[in-house]
Chain A
Amino acid sequence: MSNTPFSEGIAAGRLKPEALAENFGDLHPRLDDHEALVAADRCYFCHDAPCMTACPTDIDIPLFIRQIATGTPEAAARTIFSQNILGGMCARVCPTETLCEEVCVRETAEGKPVEIGRLQRFATDTLVDTGVHPFERDAATGKKIAVVGAGPAGLSAAHRLAGYGHDVTVFDARAKAGGLNEFGIAAYKSVDSFAEREVDWLLKIGGITVETGKSLGDGITLDGLKAEFDAVFLGIGLGGVNALGLEGEDKAGIEAATDFIADLRQADDLAKLPIGRDVVVIGGGMTAVDAAVQAKLLGALNVSLVYRRGKDRMNASVFEQDLATSKGVHIITNASPKAVIGNGAVREIEFEYTDDDLNPTGQTVRLAADQVFKAIGQTLQGSDLPELEWGKIKVDDTGRSSVDGVWAGGDCATGGDDLTVTAVAEGRDAAEDIHATLMA
């Protein structure tokens, strides 16, 4: 008995293994040497380059592209990693079309920017694939620093601090380090266990101990860490998921998009991962797109991504929206969820059309749904945290929280967009401030 996209309900193995392998292959394969040279040749080596200004981690983009063009991608990788130790993952997941590539002068000149993201991947993969770690630790300082959360912010902070000679212990609630890189992004953006390999490569700097299965309130406390370590960095992300606030939200088939994405990333065999015939994703951000596209790639017959405001208000970039559409996801805008219909398990979701200010129109529509993924935002979880602001840990420009000796960065902290690259920058900058403070 083999399933197809037409099989009713939630079922595994809707597509043949070959089709799944193809669907979950690399979204943008690495450039080969020739392609990289051609792409690099297009860079004008701008003065005070706009791309560099647009990069949250201030990577010297013209320099690394020139290093690629002159046949030294390893040197290019060092240029990237010196600013952004997770430059390999950022090359895969950065919304470059709204960052460096948006402001590329060749976008202005020809509507076609230099492919900065793909060039960055070419350089970083070249070096990571050698297995060589390009940085060495300074002499040991004897200082101990706790980092909570092994996601982009925590890993970035830990690497910078270890580089300065401090001893770093990284705690993470999951069984594996990596955070959203490992559990929270679409599989086709990080094939061949890249997130895992990147963490292993990053840890080669030495001086970093990773303790998994521990989170604030579960095995460790902020007070305990403060007592044991010279400084604490919190990069705990946003562990909770916003609820729809509808009656029947607990019906079978309704789950958090983040859980679906995490399960998919950790699945040994995608053919065993069940997916609905009719899938509805509620939300308008990157997580919603990642869930919707992957549902389609798993073999769902109909996938609708429903967002309550207009298309131009979606947090997902135009590139991501186009990707979803090209994969067959139906994007419905200006529709807010009103009711869950079903007996035990969800069968339909009713939406009401709403304008961009969310004013109801009285018009409703029902979508068939075997499975519903909620992707309407995540929330900070944890108790005894430093002072919050807008639901996040309040920090200053250097990542200092309201509690002395405690810094924070990434999605859990105020400031910046919730992007991998922003988290890396915040972790790095907090590490610089921690180092300066401890060594003062």
Chain B
Amino acid sequence: MTTATLEKTAAAEAPRKQKVILAEGNEAAALGVALARPDMVSVYPITPQSSLVEHLAKLIADGRMDADIVDAEGEHSVLSVLQGGALAGARTYTATCGPGLAFMFEPYFRTSGMRLPIVLTIVTRDGITPQSVWGGHQDAMTVREAGWIQVYCESVQEVLDTTVMAFKIAEHHDVMLPVNVCLDGNYLSYGASRVELPDQADVDAFMGEKNVNWHVALDPLRPMAVDPLTGGTTGKGPQTFVRYRKGQCRGMQNALSVIEEVHADWAKRIGRSFAPLVEEYRLDDAEFAIMTLGSMTGAAKDAVDEARDAGKKVGLIKIKTFSPFPVDALMKALGKVKALGVIDRSVGFRWNCGPMYQETLGVLYRLGRHIPSMSFIGGLAGADITIPHVHRVIADTEALLNGAPAPTEPVWLNEQD
């Protein structure tokens, strides 16, 4: 199985020795949070996120993390407490998923509007109904139009490293937006793997000074009214509203380069690099590609390796940053292939395809290329996406390349499991 690329960079100052541990994704996320030194975490349990906040509580109880922990009475208040904390200058963190994220939506949408750099891990879970407590991207996908940055992790190590980086991205002066670190429920949350734990001093140097409420604050030393009613039919109100929205969109676009810079800085200081927006795997000489998101990428890379061994000219495109959608980076990757199969772990009800597939069609239009493509949906409600599943994707996409008609419906990978 291929994990994240471990590419040691020759840095001027070599990273300090890293402790090697065995950790599940939820524990790795908690350790990443501790390294980022938040002032406040607010928690509420929900499967499969619960062990993450349990780890946080234990880290604080053991004195390994100096943060105020607020055991709120529900996710709605969890995020609201953090909004208050951030407005008073706190670095803040929480995690949730599925129904918890749905319950949180009212303050969730507002967080990006207030430009609060809160980091929230979504331990992704499928949507109910049918009732389900297992993994799937439906929760994170459902809130993709709420102005949050959303990054998806492939491995437990990437979870830990990305969690720290998320704070730096969120708090960047040109971004000031909340960030979701999405880690696959079950696969990454409970999947134990070897993890290298960066040294705290290296992380401190990476993080730099905290300044989370320079732009909006509730502070008697610099009184301001936060969120007066804004809008109306014409004039100053709607003009101001437009400025807010344009600012959010600009922050999202700025995030694309900031995410790249932060990943580069992390590689330099910590010694591990990950593709920040889009990863191209064996793509340069590929004739067609499959596209993945999150933990399914490990199995998909193995399948691609096997297919390559069998002489198929297939490559892989992995999206890490889903919001903002990495249009330019994806155009560069899509320009290299003549057919495409996109695997989603959630459902786009409106287009009867996967959401990532639907977004990718827009990129192809902008690229001016009308290549044959297909939507595959798999891994719902905890279902496995195995190497054989990916081989089916490769085979179907190769058929498109060879002139087979593209189906108008998605292929449901686990329908016959």
Q: Are A and B part of the same complex?
A: no
Interface on A for B, CB 8 Å cutoff?
A: none
